[in-house]
Amino acid sequence: MNIDSINNGYVIDHISAGRGMQLYELLGLDKLDCSVAIIKNVTSKKMGKKDIIKIDDNIPVNLDVIGFVDPGATVNIIKDGKLVGKEKLKLPETLTDIIKCKNPRCITSVEQEIKHIFRLTDEKNKIYRCVYCETKANI
């Protein structure tokens, strides 16, 4: 398998095996007009198996989405073919318009312009609740 290196963009590394496609969808990478590589089930000494996503474009990447899906992932920032930065992620305290409230009585179900906002209420169990109705997010 031959995956080219990237000149400017991001390498999302240490993604738990099987979570790469979920990140691909939530980040909207299918809508990009640049090279995107998803490498699944890569052998890793640290994790056993992992997924990797390479994005060959300097686009805005929502770190909250990545931290929500896999707080153990890292984001490597590449400029001119060289690593210039590394972001270690954690569970975000607040999620805005990443997941939607499933409660049919929530105001977000009636008012389409209202943002879907969830707050982390239990970090150990990764539980988020809607700020409007307190409904637990289905993750």
**Confidence (pTM):** 0.83
Evaluate whether residue 135 is within a structural domain: no
CATH number of the domain within which 76 lies: 3.30.70.140
60-63 contact pairs (CB < 8 A, 24+): 61/10, 61/12, 61/27, 62/27, 62/98, 63/87, 63/89, 63/92
* Owning domain of residue 107: 94-130
pLDDT in tens, 93-134: 999 999 999 999 999 988 889 999 999 999 999 999 999 999
pLDDT in tens, 52-71: 999 998 888 899 999 999 99
Residues 31, 64, single domain; the answer is: yes
